[in-house]
Chain A
Amino acid sequence: MRWLRRHLLVIVAILVLVYMLIPNAVVAVFSFNNPVGRYNYTWQEFSVDAWTNPCGAQGICDSLGLSLRIGLVASLTATALGTMIAFALGRYRFRGRSGTNLLIFMPMATPEVVMGSSLLTLFLMIGLPSGQLAVTIAHIMFCISFVVVAVKARVATLDPRLEEAAADLGSTPVQTFLRVTFPLAFPGILAGALLAFSLSFDDYIITNFNASPSSITFPMYVWGAAQRGAPVQVNVIGTMMFLIALVVVVAGQLLTARRDRARS
Protein backbone atom coordinates (compact mmCIF):
# COMPACT_ATOMS: atom_id res chain seq x y z
CA MET A 1 0.00 0.00 0.00
CA ARG A 2 2.85 2.37 0.85
CA TRP A 3 4.59 1.31 -2.33
CA LEU A 4 1.45 2.20 -4.26
CA ARG A 5 1.20 5.60 -2.61
CA ARG A 6 4.80 6.43 -3.29
CA HIS A 7 4.60 5.44 -6.93
CA LEU A 8 1.03 6.52 -7.63
CA LEU A 9 2.10 9.51 -9.72
CA VAL A 10 4.43 7.45 -11.88
CA ILE A 11 1.77 4.79 -12.38
CA VAL A 12 -0.77 7.41 -13.45
CA ALA A 13 1.79 8.92 -15.83
CA ILE A 14 2.49 5.57 -17.42
CA LEU A 15 -1.24 4.85 -17.80
CA VAL A 16 -1.68 8.19 -19.57
CA LEU A 17 1.19 7.35 -21.90
CA VAL A 18 -0.46 3.99 -22.63
CA TYR A 19 -3.74 5.80 -23.38
CA MET A 20 -1.87 7.99 -25.84
CA LEU A 21 -0.11 5.14 -27.58
CA ILE A 22 -2.86 2.49 -27.78
CA PRO A 23 -4.28 3.83 -31.06
CA ASN A 24 -0.85 3.69 -32.70
CA ALA A 25 -0.50 0.10 -31.58
CA VAL A 26 -3.97 -0.74 -32.87
CA VAL A 27 -3.17 0.85 -36.24
CA ALA A 28 -0.01 -1.22 -36.48
CA VAL A 29 -1.69 -4.48 -35.45
CA PHE A 30 -4.58 -4.01 -37.83
CA SER A 31 -2.20 -3.38 -40.71
CA PHE A 32 -1.69 -7.15 -40.57
CA ASN A 33 -5.41 -7.90 -40.55
CA ASN A 34 -7.22 -9.62 -43.36
CA PRO A 35 -10.68 -8.15 -42.92
CA VAL A 36 -13.86 -9.72 -44.14
CA GLY A 37 -15.86 -7.14 -46.07
CA ARG A 38 -14.95 -3.46 -46.30
CA TYR A 39 -14.53 -2.54 -42.65
CA ASN A 40 -11.17 -3.09 -40.96
CA TYR A 41 -12.58 -2.77 -37.45
CA THR A 42 -12.54 -6.32 -36.11
CA TRP A 43 -9.65 -8.73 -36.10
CA GLN A 44 -10.01 -11.62 -38.56
CA GLU A 45 -6.68 -13.24 -39.40
CA PHE A 46 -3.00 -12.46 -39.80
CA SER A 47 -1.91 -11.39 -43.26
CA VAL A 48 0.93 -9.46 -44.86
CA ASP A 49 -1.00 -8.82 -48.07
CA ALA A 50 -1.34 -5.09 -47.47
CA TRP A 51 2.35 -4.75 -46.56
CA THR A 52 3.48 -6.43 -49.75
CA ASN A 53 1.18 -4.21 -51.78
CA PRO A 54 0.92 -0.84 -50.01
CA CYS A 55 -0.34 0.95 -53.13
CA GLY A 56 -2.93 -1.74 -53.68
CA ALA A 57 -5.88 0.45 -52.77
CA GLN A 58 -6.93 2.69 -55.61
CA GLY A 59 -5.68 6.27 -55.38
CA ILE A 60 -3.93 5.85 -52.03
CA CYS A 61 -0.39 6.39 -53.26
CA ASP A 62 -1.40 9.30 -55.50
CA SER A 63 -2.88 11.06 -52.49
CA LEU A 64 0.18 10.21 -50.41
CA GLY A 65 2.46 11.68 -53.08
CA LEU A 66 0.36 14.83 -53.25
CA SER A 67 0.46 15.25 -49.48
CA LEU A 68 4.23 14.81 -49.43
CA ARG A 69 4.66 17.38 -52.22
CA ILE A 70 2.37 19.93 -50.59
CA GLY A 71 4.00 19.27 -47.22
CA LEU A 72 7.45 19.86 -48.63
CA VAL A 73 6.60 23.10 -50.46
CA ALA A 74 4.47 24.43 -47.60
CA SER A 75 6.98 23.61 -44.85
CA LEU A 76 9.96 25.04 -46.75
CA THR A 77 8.15 28.27 -47.61
CA ALA A 78 6.67 28.66 -44.14
CA THR A 79 10.08 27.96 -42.57
CA ALA A 80 11.73 30.68 -44.67
CA LEU A 81 9.02 33.25 -43.91
CA GLY A 82 8.67 32.28 -40.27
CA THR A 83 12.41 32.25 -39.60
CA MET A 84 12.74 35.79 -40.94
CA ILE A 85 9.93 36.97 -38.68
CA ALA A 86 11.47 35.17 -35.70
CA PHE A 87 14.81 36.89 -36.28
CA ALA A 88 13.14 40.28 -36.61
CA LEU A 89 11.28 39.70 -33.32
CA GLY A 90 14.25 38.25 -31.50
CA ARG A 91 16.97 40.59 -32.69
CA TYR A 92 15.50 44.01 -33.37
CA ARG A 93 13.46 46.67 -31.71
CA PHE A 94 10.91 48.18 -34.08
CA ARG A 95 7.57 49.90 -34.19
CA GLY A 96 4.54 47.65 -34.58
CA ARG A 97 5.87 44.79 -32.50
CA SER A 98 2.62 44.17 -30.64
CA GLY A 99 0.67 44.21 -33.90
CA THR A 100 3.10 41.67 -35.32
CA ASN A 101 2.76 39.47 -32.25
CA LEU A 102 -1.01 39.60 -32.57
CA LEU A 103 -0.91 38.64 -36.24
CA ILE A 104 1.37 35.71 -35.40
CA PHE A 105 -0.76 34.59 -32.48
CA MET A 106 -4.20 34.83 -34.12
CA PRO A 107 -3.85 31.92 -36.59
CA MET A 108 -3.02 29.65 -33.64
CA ALA A 109 -6.08 30.89 -31.76
CA THR A 110 -8.50 30.48 -34.64
CA PRO A 111 -10.31 27.18 -35.17
CA GLU A 112 -9.34 25.46 -38.39
CA VAL A 113 -12.88 25.43 -39.62
CA VAL A 114 -12.97 29.24 -39.47
CA MET A 115 -9.65 29.59 -41.30
CA GLY A 116 -10.65 27.06 -43.94
CA SER A 117 -14.03 28.59 -44.62
CA SER A 118 -12.83 32.20 -44.57
CA LEU A 119 -10.04 31.38 -47.00
CA LEU A 120 -12.62 29.76 -49.25
CA THR A 121 -14.62 32.99 -49.30
CA LEU A 122 -11.47 34.92 -50.25
CA PHE A 123 -10.63 32.51 -53.05
CA LEU A 124 -14.23 32.65 -54.28
CA MET A 125 -14.04 36.43 -54.33
CA ILE A 126 -10.75 36.70 -56.19
CA GLY A 127 -11.59 33.77 -58.42
CA LEU A 128 -8.78 31.41 -57.42
CA PRO A 129 -10.03 27.89 -58.11
CA SER A 130 -9.95 25.23 -55.42
CA GLY A 131 -7.11 22.77 -55.78
CA GLN A 132 -3.47 22.14 -55.10
CA LEU A 133 -2.39 25.81 -55.24
CA ALA A 134 -5.16 26.95 -52.91
CA VAL A 135 -4.34 24.15 -50.46
CA THR A 136 -0.62 24.98 -50.51
CA ILE A 137 -1.30 28.68 -49.87
CA ALA A 138 -3.52 27.72 -46.94
CA HIS A 139 -0.95 25.35 -45.46
CA ILE A 140 1.83 27.96 -45.64
CA MET A 141 -0.49 30.39 -43.88
CA PHE A 142 -1.23 28.22 -40.85
CA CYS A 143 2.34 26.89 -40.57
CA ILE A 144 4.08 30.29 -40.36
CA SER A 145 3.03 30.99 -36.76
CA PHE A 146 4.27 27.64 -35.50
CA VAL A 147 7.64 28.14 -37.20
CA VAL A 148 7.92 31.61 -35.67
CA VAL A 149 7.30 30.21 -32.19
CA ALA A 150 9.83 27.38 -32.62
CA VAL A 151 12.59 29.54 -34.10
CA LYS A 152 12.00 32.47 -31.77
CA ALA A 153 12.50 30.22 -28.76
CA ARG A 154 15.90 29.25 -30.12
CA VAL A 155 16.91 32.77 -31.17
CA ALA A 156 16.07 33.97 -27.67
CA THR A 157 18.69 31.62 -26.21
CA LEU A 158 21.45 32.85 -28.53
CA ASP A 159 23.99 35.06 -26.83
CA PRO A 160 24.24 38.31 -28.80
CA ARG A 161 27.84 38.49 -27.64
CA LEU A 162 28.69 35.62 -29.96
CA GLU A 163 27.75 37.80 -32.91
CA GLU A 164 29.73 40.65 -31.43
CA ALA A 165 32.69 38.32 -31.02
CA ALA A 166 32.45 37.34 -34.69
CA ALA A 167 32.36 41.00 -35.77
CA ASP A 168 35.23 41.72 -33.42
CA LEU A 169 37.24 38.98 -35.12
CA GLY A 170 36.78 40.62 -38.50
CA SER A 171 33.70 38.88 -39.82
CA THR A 172 31.33 40.91 -42.00
CA PRO A 173 27.61 40.88 -41.13
CA VAL A 174 26.92 38.32 -43.88
CA GLN A 175 29.77 36.06 -42.73
CA THR A 176 28.59 36.41 -39.14
CA PHE A 177 25.12 35.27 -40.10
CA LEU A 178 26.34 32.32 -42.16
CA ARG A 179 29.04 31.09 -39.79
CA VAL A 180 27.67 31.89 -36.36
CA THR A 181 24.02 32.90 -36.20
CA PHE A 182 22.55 30.41 -38.64
CA PRO A 183 24.41 27.32 -37.40
CA LEU A 184 23.44 28.17 -33.83
CA ALA A 185 19.79 28.78 -34.70
CA PHE A 186 19.61 25.72 -36.94
CA PRO A 187 18.15 23.27 -34.40
CA GLY A 188 15.22 25.64 -33.88
CA ILE A 189 14.76 26.15 -37.61
CA LEU A 190 14.83 22.39 -38.18
CA ALA A 191 12.29 21.84 -35.40
CA GLY A 192 10.06 24.50 -36.95
CA ALA A 193 10.36 22.92 -40.40
CA LEU A 194 9.52 19.44 -39.11
CA LEU A 195 6.55 20.78 -37.16
CA ALA A 196 5.32 22.64 -40.25
CA PHE A 197 5.67 19.52 -42.37
CA SER A 198 3.74 17.35 -39.96
CA LEU A 199 0.99 19.98 -39.57
CA SER A 200 0.66 20.28 -43.33
CA PHE A 201 0.80 16.54 -43.93
CA ASP A 202 -1.83 15.86 -41.31
CA ASP A 203 -4.31 18.65 -42.03
CA TYR A 204 -7.80 17.66 -43.03
CA ILE A 205 -10.21 20.46 -42.14
CA ILE A 206 -8.60 23.47 -43.87
CA THR A 207 -7.59 21.30 -46.81
CA ASN A 208 -11.10 20.00 -47.24
CA PHE A 209 -12.43 23.53 -47.72
CA ASN A 210 -9.95 24.39 -50.44
CA ALA A 211 -9.24 21.16 -52.29
CA SER A 212 -10.83 19.99 -55.50
CA PRO A 213 -11.72 16.43 -56.55
CA SER A 214 -8.45 16.35 -58.47
CA SER A 215 -6.39 17.27 -55.41
CA ILE A 216 -7.18 14.59 -52.87
CA THR A 217 -4.58 14.67 -50.09
CA PHE A 218 -3.82 11.66 -47.93
CA PRO A 219 -6.00 12.77 -44.98
CA MET A 220 -8.85 13.44 -47.44
CA TYR A 221 -8.36 9.99 -48.88
CA VAL A 222 -8.51 8.47 -45.39
CA TRP A 223 -11.65 10.48 -44.59
CA GLY A 224 -13.33 9.36 -47.79
CA ALA A 225 -12.25 5.78 -47.21
CA ALA A 226 -13.61 5.87 -43.67
CA GLN A 227 -17.08 6.53 -45.05
CA ARG A 228 -16.88 3.49 -47.31
CA GLY A 229 -14.64 1.29 -45.16
CA ALA A 230 -10.93 2.01 -45.02
CA PRO A 231 -8.57 -0.38 -46.82
CA VAL A 232 -5.85 -2.07 -44.77
CA GLN A 233 -3.27 -0.10 -46.79
CA VAL A 234 -4.26 2.99 -44.80
CA ASN A 235 -2.98 1.24 -41.68
CA VAL A 236 0.14 0.13 -43.53
CA ILE A 237 1.00 3.68 -44.60
CA GLY A 238 0.14 5.03 -41.16
CA THR A 239 2.46 2.46 -39.57
CA MET A 240 5.23 3.17 -42.07
CA MET A 241 5.10 6.90 -41.38
CA PHE A 242 5.18 6.13 -37.67
CA LEU A 243 8.25 3.92 -38.01
CA ILE A 244 10.11 6.35 -40.26
CA ALA A 245 9.48 9.25 -37.89
CA LEU A 246 10.44 7.09 -34.90
CA VAL A 247 13.72 6.06 -36.52
CA VAL A 248 14.56 9.68 -37.40
CA VAL A 249 13.81 10.91 -33.89
CA VAL A 250 15.57 8.06 -32.09
CA ALA A 251 18.60 8.37 -34.38
CA GLY A 252 18.71 12.11 -33.68
CA GLN A 253 18.48 11.45 -29.95
CA LEU A 254 21.23 8.84 -30.04
CA LEU A 255 23.43 11.16 -32.07
CA THR A 256 23.12 14.02 -29.59
CA ALA A 257 23.54 11.60 -26.69
CA ARG A 258 26.75 10.27 -28.20
CA ARG A 259 28.06 13.74 -28.88
CA ASP A 260 27.27 14.75 -25.30
CA ARG A 261 29.05 11.67 -24.01
CA ALA A 262 32.08 12.44 -26.15
CA ARG A 263 32.12 15.91 -24.65
CA SER A 264 32.05 15.01 -21.00
Chain B
Amino acid sequence: MAEVALGTGGAPARPRRRHVGWVPYALLAPGLLWLLVFFAAPMFTLGSQSLQEGNVFDGYVFTGNVSVYADALQKYWPHLLRSVGYAGAATVFALLLAYPLAYVIAQKAGRFQNLMLVLVVAPFFTSFLIRTLAWRTILSDTGPVTELAQRLHITDLLQAANLINNDTLLSSKFAVIAGLTYNFLPFMILPLYASLDRLDHRLVEAAEDLYASPFQAFRHVTWPMSLPGVVAGTLLTFIPAAGDYINSRLLGNTQTIMIGQVIDTQFLRVLDYPLAAALSFVLLLLILALVTTYVRRAGTEELV
Protein backbone atom coordinates (compact mmCIF):
# COMPACT_ATOMS: atom_id res chain seq x y z
CA MET B 1 0.00 0.00 0.00
CA ALA B 2 2.74 2.41 0.94
CA GLU B 3 4.59 1.62 -2.28
CA VAL B 4 1.48 2.19 -4.33
CA ALA B 5 0.82 5.45 -2.54
CA LEU B 6 4.32 6.69 -3.25
CA GLY B 7 3.78 6.32 -6.96
CA THR B 8 0.61 8.38 -7.00
CA GLY B 9 2.07 11.48 -5.40
CA GLY B 10 1.25 14.54 -7.43
CA ALA B 11 4.15 16.79 -6.57
CA PRO B 12 7.56 15.58 -7.73
CA ALA B 13 9.85 14.51 -4.92
CA ARG B 14 12.77 16.85 -4.87
CA PRO B 15 15.67 15.39 -2.93
CA ARG B 16 17.27 17.91 -0.67
CA ARG B 17 20.28 19.51 -2.34
CA ARG B 18 21.31 21.87 0.37
CA HIS B 19 24.88 20.83 0.97
CA VAL B 20 25.74 20.29 -2.67
CA GLY B 21 29.09 21.95 -2.04
CA TRP B 22 31.69 19.58 -0.71
CA VAL B 23 29.73 16.61 0.66
CA PRO B 24 29.52 14.52 -2.52
CA TYR B 25 33.19 15.08 -3.25
CA ALA B 26 34.16 14.06 0.25
CA LEU B 27 32.12 10.87 -0.19
CA LEU B 28 33.66 10.13 -3.57
CA ALA B 29 37.26 11.02 -2.81
CA PRO B 30 38.60 7.94 -0.99
CA GLY B 31 37.05 5.36 -3.31
CA LEU B 32 37.80 7.21 -6.52
CA LEU B 33 41.34 7.90 -5.38
CA TRP B 34 41.79 4.18 -4.79
CA LEU B 35 40.52 3.41 -8.28
CA LEU B 36 42.65 6.13 -9.84
CA VAL B 37 45.84 4.90 -8.18
CA PHE B 38 45.27 1.17 -8.39
CA PHE B 39 43.17 0.86 -11.54
CA ALA B 40 43.73 3.86 -13.83
CA ALA B 41 47.40 4.56 -13.09
CA PRO B 42 48.40 0.91 -13.72
CA MET B 43 47.03 1.25 -17.27
CA PHE B 44 49.71 3.88 -17.83
CA THR B 45 52.46 1.89 -16.17
CA LEU B 46 51.32 -1.07 -18.27
CA GLY B 47 51.63 0.99 -21.44
CA SER B 48 54.96 2.35 -20.29
CA GLN B 49 56.23 -1.13 -19.40
CA SER B 50 55.40 -2.39 -22.86
CA LEU B 51 57.64 0.27 -24.40
CA GLN B 52 60.66 -0.52 -22.26
CA GLU B 53 63.62 -2.73 -23.08
CA GLY B 54 65.93 -4.71 -20.87
CA ASN B 55 65.53 -7.69 -18.56
CA VAL B 56 64.48 -8.46 -15.03
CA PHE B 57 68.03 -8.71 -13.71
CA ASP B 58 69.57 -5.58 -15.20
CA GLY B 59 66.40 -3.50 -15.11
CA TYR B 60 64.37 -1.82 -17.82
CA VAL B 61 64.74 1.51 -19.59
CA PHE B 62 62.08 3.29 -21.56
CA THR B 63 63.00 3.26 -25.23
CA GLY B 64 59.63 3.71 -26.88
CA ASN B 65 60.16 0.41 -28.64
CA VAL B 66 56.85 0.10 -30.50
CA SER B 67 58.00 -2.94 -32.44
CA VAL B 68 57.13 -5.10 -29.44
CA TYR B 69 53.49 -4.72 -30.45
CA ALA B 70 54.22 -5.99 -33.96
CA ASP B 71 56.11 -8.92 -32.45
CA ALA B 72 53.37 -9.67 -29.98
CA LEU B 73 50.63 -9.57 -32.60
CA GLN B 74 52.60 -11.59 -35.10
CA LYS B 75 53.37 -14.27 -32.61
CA TYR B 76 50.14 -14.43 -30.66
CA TRP B 77 47.33 -13.33 -32.96
CA PRO B 78 45.92 -16.87 -33.04
CA HIS B 79 45.60 -16.82 -29.26
CA LEU B 80 43.87 -13.44 -29.31
CA LEU B 81 41.49 -14.59 -32.00
CA ARG B 82 40.87 -17.85 -30.19
CA SER B 83 40.08 -16.03 -26.94
CA VAL B 84 37.53 -13.80 -28.63
CA GLY B 85 36.07 -16.80 -30.45
CA TYR B 86 35.76 -19.00 -27.37
CA ALA B 87 34.38 -16.17 -25.28
CA GLY B 88 31.91 -15.29 -28.03
CA ALA B 89 30.76 -18.89 -28.36
CA ALA B 90 30.43 -19.26 -24.60
CA THR B 91 28.41 -16.02 -24.47
CA VAL B 92 25.99 -17.26 -27.13
CA PHE B 93 25.54 -20.62 -25.42
CA ALA B 94 25.13 -18.96 -22.03
CA LEU B 95 22.45 -16.69 -23.45
CA LEU B 96 20.61 -19.65 -24.99
CA LEU B 97 20.69 -21.55 -21.70
CA ALA B 98 20.10 -18.60 -19.41
CA TYR B 99 17.10 -17.06 -21.17
CA PRO B 100 14.61 -19.90 -20.58
CA LEU B 101 15.75 -20.30 -16.99
CA ALA B 102 15.60 -16.57 -16.24
CA TYR B 103 12.19 -16.38 -17.90
CA VAL B 104 10.82 -19.27 -15.88
CA ILE B 105 12.15 -17.81 -12.62
CA ALA B 106 10.78 -14.36 -13.37
CA GLN B 107 7.40 -15.27 -14.82
CA LYS B 108 6.45 -18.82 -13.96
CA ALA B 109 8.19 -19.90 -10.76
CA GLY B 110 5.56 -18.56 -8.36
CA ARG B 111 6.40 -19.64 -4.85
CA PHE B 112 9.53 -21.43 -6.05
CA GLN B 113 11.03 -18.14 -7.23
CA ASN B 114 13.25 -17.58 -4.19
CA LEU B 115 14.36 -21.21 -4.11
CA MET B 116 15.35 -21.09 -7.77
CA LEU B 117 17.26 -17.84 -7.28
CA VAL B 118 19.18 -19.41 -4.42
CA LEU B 119 19.99 -22.38 -6.65
CA VAL B 120 21.27 -20.02 -9.37
CA VAL B 121 23.77 -18.37 -7.04
CA ALA B 122 24.50 -21.60 -5.12
CA PRO B 123 27.37 -22.65 -7.44
CA PHE B 124 29.21 -19.51 -6.30
CA PHE B 125 29.30 -20.93 -2.79
CA THR B 126 31.97 -23.37 -3.93
CA SER B 127 35.23 -21.99 -5.25
CA PHE B 128 35.43 -21.32 -9.00
CA LEU B 129 38.58 -23.42 -9.32
CA ILE B 130 37.21 -26.39 -7.44
CA ARG B 131 34.11 -26.45 -9.62
CA THR B 132 36.17 -26.24 -12.78
CA LEU B 133 38.23 -29.15 -11.52
CA ALA B 134 34.99 -31.06 -10.96
CA TRP B 135 34.38 -30.88 -14.71
CA ARG B 136 37.53 -32.93 -15.17
CA THR B 137 35.87 -35.62 -13.10
CA ILE B 138 32.57 -35.30 -14.94
CA LEU B 139 34.11 -35.38 -18.43
CA SER B 140 36.83 -37.89 -17.58
CA ASP B 141 37.60 -40.41 -20.32
CA THR B 142 36.18 -43.36 -18.39
CA GLY B 143 33.24 -41.51 -16.83
CA PRO B 144 29.55 -42.09 -17.61
CA VAL B 145 29.16 -38.81 -19.52
CA THR B 146 31.85 -39.68 -22.05
CA GLU B 147 30.49 -43.20 -22.34
CA LEU B 148 26.99 -41.94 -23.02
CA ALA B 149 28.26 -39.41 -25.57
CA GLN B 150 30.13 -42.16 -27.35
CA ARG B 151 27.14 -44.45 -27.39
CA LEU B 152 24.87 -41.71 -28.77
CA HIS B 153 27.58 -40.83 -31.35
CA ILE B 154 27.71 -37.30 -30.00
CA THR B 155 31.48 -37.67 -29.88
CA ASP B 156 31.50 -38.42 -33.61
CA LEU B 157 29.47 -35.30 -34.21
CA LEU B 158 31.78 -33.16 -32.09
CA GLN B 159 34.78 -34.67 -33.81
CA ALA B 160 33.31 -33.87 -37.20
CA ALA B 161 32.82 -30.29 -36.00
CA ASN B 162 36.48 -30.28 -34.97
CA LEU B 163 35.57 -29.55 -31.36
CA ILE B 164 37.29 -32.63 -29.99
CA ASN B 165 40.37 -34.40 -31.30
CA ASN B 166 39.66 -38.00 -30.44
CA ASP B 167 36.87 -40.07 -29.01
CA THR B 168 36.96 -38.39 -25.58
CA LEU B 169 35.50 -35.14 -24.30
CA LEU B 170 38.15 -33.78 -21.96
CA SER B 171 41.14 -31.67 -23.05
CA SER B 172 39.35 -30.23 -26.05
CA LYS B 173 37.85 -27.07 -27.50
CA PHE B 174 34.48 -28.49 -26.54
CA ALA B 175 35.45 -28.85 -22.88
CA VAL B 176 36.90 -25.32 -22.72
CA ILE B 177 33.82 -23.68 -24.24
CA ALA B 178 31.51 -25.79 -22.07
CA GLY B 179 33.54 -24.81 -19.02
CA LEU B 180 33.45 -21.10 -19.91
CA THR B 181 29.71 -21.30 -20.55
CA TYR B 182 29.18 -23.01 -17.22
CA ASN B 183 31.38 -20.67 -15.22
CA PHE B 184 29.81 -17.43 -16.39
CA LEU B 185 26.21 -18.63 -16.66
CA PRO B 186 25.05 -16.96 -13.41
CA PHE B 187 26.38 -13.61 -14.70
CA MET B 188 24.04 -14.03 -17.64
CA ILE B 189 21.05 -15.28 -15.67
CA LEU B 190 20.91 -12.58 -13.00
CA PRO B 191 20.69 -9.48 -15.24
CA LEU B 192 18.26 -11.31 -17.52
CA TYR B 193 16.15 -12.22 -14.53
CA ALA B 194 16.23 -8.63 -13.31
CA SER B 195 14.83 -7.26 -16.57
CA LEU B 196 12.36 -10.11 -17.14
CA ASP B 197 11.08 -9.77 -13.59
CA ARG B 198 10.07 -6.19 -14.36
CA LEU B 199 8.16 -7.31 -17.45
CA ASP B 200 4.44 -7.02 -16.86
CA HIS B 201 2.85 -10.26 -18.02
CA ARG B 202 -0.24 -8.31 -19.06
CA LEU B 203 1.82 -6.80 -21.90
CA VAL B 204 2.26 -10.25 -23.39
CA GLU B 205 -1.45 -10.91 -22.92
CA ALA B 206 -2.23 -7.59 -24.59
CA ALA B 207 -0.02 -8.58 -27.54
CA GLU B 208 -1.80 -11.92 -27.83
CA ASP B 209 -5.14 -10.14 -27.56
CA LEU B 210 -4.00 -8.08 -30.55
CA TYR B 211 -3.50 -11.24 -32.64
CA ALA B 212 0.20 -11.89 -31.96
CA SER B 213 1.21 -15.55 -31.99
CA PRO B 214 3.28 -16.65 -28.97
CA PHE B 215 6.39 -16.31 -31.11
CA GLN B 216 5.42 -12.85 -32.34
CA ALA B 217 4.58 -11.77 -28.80
CA PHE B 218 8.04 -12.89 -27.76
CA ARG B 219 9.68 -11.24 -30.74
CA HIS B 220 7.88 -7.90 -30.38
CA VAL B 221 7.29 -7.59 -26.63
CA THR B 222 9.29 -9.89 -24.36
CA TRP B 223 12.60 -9.79 -26.22
CA PRO B 224 12.82 -6.01 -26.74
CA MET B 225 11.87 -5.37 -23.14
CA SER B 226 14.55 -7.75 -21.88
CA LEU B 227 17.26 -6.16 -24.04
CA PRO B 228 18.91 -4.23 -21.19
CA GLY B 229 19.32 -7.55 -19.37
CA VAL B 230 20.64 -9.21 -22.52
CA VAL B 231 23.23 -6.46 -23.03
CA ALA B 232 24.35 -6.48 -19.40
CA GLY B 233 24.45 -10.28 -19.27
CA THR B 234 26.41 -10.72 -22.48
CA LEU B 235 28.97 -8.14 -21.36
CA LEU B 236 29.32 -9.68 -17.91
CA THR B 237 29.90 -13.05 -19.62
CA PHE B 238 32.03 -12.08 -22.58
CA ILE B 239 34.53 -9.77 -20.86
CA PRO B 240 35.72 -12.11 -18.11
CA ALA B 241 35.53 -15.12 -20.43
CA ALA B 242 37.84 -13.46 -22.99
CA GLY B 243 40.53 -12.90 -20.37
CA ASP B 244 40.04 -16.19 -18.55
CA TYR B 245 42.59 -18.96 -18.77
CA ILE B 246 41.56 -21.22 -15.94
CA ASN B 247 39.16 -23.15 -18.15
CA SER B 248 41.54 -23.44 -21.07
CA ARG B 249 44.30 -24.53 -18.74
CA LEU B 250 42.30 -27.09 -16.73
CA LEU B 251 39.98 -28.41 -19.43
CA GLY B 252 41.91 -27.79 -22.64
CA ASN B 253 45.08 -28.88 -24.42
CA THR B 254 48.04 -27.15 -26.05
CA GLN B 255 45.84 -26.23 -29.01
CA THR B 256 43.36 -24.31 -26.84
CA ILE B 257 45.72 -21.89 -25.08
CA MET B 258 44.00 -18.54 -24.62
CA ILE B 259 45.61 -15.11 -24.50
CA GLY B 260 45.35 -14.80 -20.71
CA GLN B 261 47.49 -17.84 -20.30
CA VAL B 262 50.14 -16.38 -22.64
CA ILE B 263 50.19 -13.13 -20.64
CA ASP B 264 50.45 -15.05 -17.39
CA THR B 265 53.31 -17.19 -18.70
CA GLN B 266 55.22 -14.29 -20.26
CA PHE B 267 54.91 -12.20 -17.10
CA LEU B 268 55.48 -14.78 -14.41
CA ARG B 269 57.48 -17.59 -16.04
CA VAL B 270 59.35 -16.15 -19.03
CA LEU B 271 59.67 -12.75 -17.32
CA ASP B 272 59.40 -10.92 -20.66
CA TYR B 273 57.62 -7.94 -19.14
CA PRO B 274 57.44 -5.70 -22.23
CA LEU B 275 55.92 -8.42 -24.40
CA ALA B 276 53.47 -9.46 -21.70
CA ALA B 277 52.50 -5.85 -21.05
CA ALA B 278 52.01 -5.25 -24.77
CA LEU B 279 49.76 -8.31 -25.05
CA SER B 280 47.80 -7.19 -22.02
CA PHE B 281 47.33 -3.75 -23.53
CA VAL B 282 46.24 -5.18 -26.86
CA LEU B 283 43.70 -7.41 -25.12
CA LEU B 284 42.31 -4.43 -23.23
CA LEU B 285 41.98 -2.31 -26.38
CA LEU B 286 40.46 -5.18 -28.32
CA ILE B 287 37.81 -5.78 -25.68
CA LEU B 288 37.07 -2.08 -25.30
CA ALA B 289 36.65 -1.76 -29.06
CA LEU B 290 34.35 -4.79 -29.24
CA VAL B 291 32.31 -3.71 -26.23
CA THR B 292 31.90 -0.11 -27.43
CA THR B 293 30.75 -1.23 -30.86
CA TYR B 294 28.37 -3.70 -29.30
CA VAL B 295 26.90 -1.25 -26.81
CA ARG B 296 26.47 1.37 -29.54
CA ARG B 297 24.60 -1.10 -31.72
CA ALA B 298 22.49 -2.40 -28.86
CA GLY B 299 21.72 1.20 -27.97
CA THR B 300 22.04 0.85 -24.22
CA GLU B 301 24.34 3.46 -22.79
CA GLU B 302 23.19 3.17 -19.21
CA LEU B 303 25.37 0.42 -17.80
CA VAL B 304 26.29 1.33 -14.27
The contact of B27 among A85, A144, A204, A249, by CB within 8 Å, is A85
For the complex, what is the distance from the CA of A230 to the CA of B121, rounded to whole Å? 25
The contact of B31 among A24, A101, A112, A144, by CB within 8 Å, is A144
- Indicate whether B246 reaches chain A with its CB closer than 8 angstroms: yes
The answer to whether A117 and B46 have CB atoms under 8 Å apart is: yes
Given contact pairs A84-B28, A238-B126, A242-B122, A109 touches B291 in the complex (Cβ within 8 A) = yes
The answer to whether A16 and B100 have CB atoms under 8 Å apart is: yes
A 188-216 to B, binary, CB cutoff 8 A, 1 in contact else 0: 00000000001001101100110000000
Segment 16-63 of A: residues with Cβ below 8 Å from B: 16-17, 19-24, 26-27, 30, 40-42
The answer to whether B243 and A112 have CB atoms under 8 Å apart is: yes
A218: which B residues are within 8 A, CB to CB? 127
Task: State the majority secondary structure of interface residues on B.
Answer: helix
Segment 246-268 of B: residues with Cβ below 8 Å from A: 246, 250, 259-260, 263-264, 267-268
The answer to whether A12 and B100 have CB atoms under 8 Å apart is: yes
A172: which B residues are within 8 A, CB to CB? none
Closest residue to B50 on the A side, CB-wise?
Answer: A121
- Indicate whether A88 reaches chain B with its CB closer than 8 angstroms: yes
The answer to whether A160 and B15 have CB atoms under 8 Å apart is: yes
Closest residue to A40 on the B side, CB-wise?
Answer: B137
- Indicate whether A149 reaches chain B with its CB closer than 8 angstroms: yes
Segment 27-54 of B: residues with Cβ below 8 Å from A: 27-28, 30-32, 34-36, 38-43, 45-46, 48-49
Shortest distance from the beta carbon of A9 to any chain B beta carbon, whole Å: 5
The answer to whether A245 and B125 have CB atoms under 8 Å apart is: yes
For the complex, what is the distance from the CA of A113 to the CA of B87, rounded to whole Å? 14
Q: How large is the interface on B (under 10, 10 to 19, 20 to 34, 35 or more residues)?
A: 35 or more
- Indicate whether A178 reaches chain B with its CB closer than 8 angstroms: no
A109: which B residues are within 8 A, CB to CB? 235, 239, 287-288, 291
The contact of A17 among B16, B39, B116, by CB within 8 Å, is B116
- Chain A residue total in the interface (Cβ 8 A): 92
The answer to whether A101 and B48 have CB atoms under 8 Å apart is: no
Closest residue to B239 on the A side, CB-wise?
Answer: A109
A 134-163 to B, binary, CB cutoff 8 A, 1 in contact else 0: 000110110011001100100000011101
Given contact pairs A91-B15, A226-B129, A205 touches B122 in the complex (Cβ within 8 A) = no
Q: Which residues of B contact A (CB under 8 A)?
A: 6, 13-17, 20, 23-25, 27-28, 30-32, 34-36, 38-43, 45-46, 48-49, 97-98, 100-101, 103-105, 108, 114, 116, 118-138, 140, 142-143, 182, 185-186, 235-236, 239-240, 242-246, 250, 259-260, 263-264, 267-268, 273, 276-277, 280-281, 283-284, 287-288, 291, 303-304
9 further contact pairs, Cβ within 8 A, besides A13-B116, A144-B31, A241-B125:
A13-B105, A19-B182, A20-B119, A42-B137, A88-B24, A111-B244, A122-B38, A205-B264, A219-B128
Closest 3 CB pairs of A and B: A111-B243, A81-B31, A118-B42
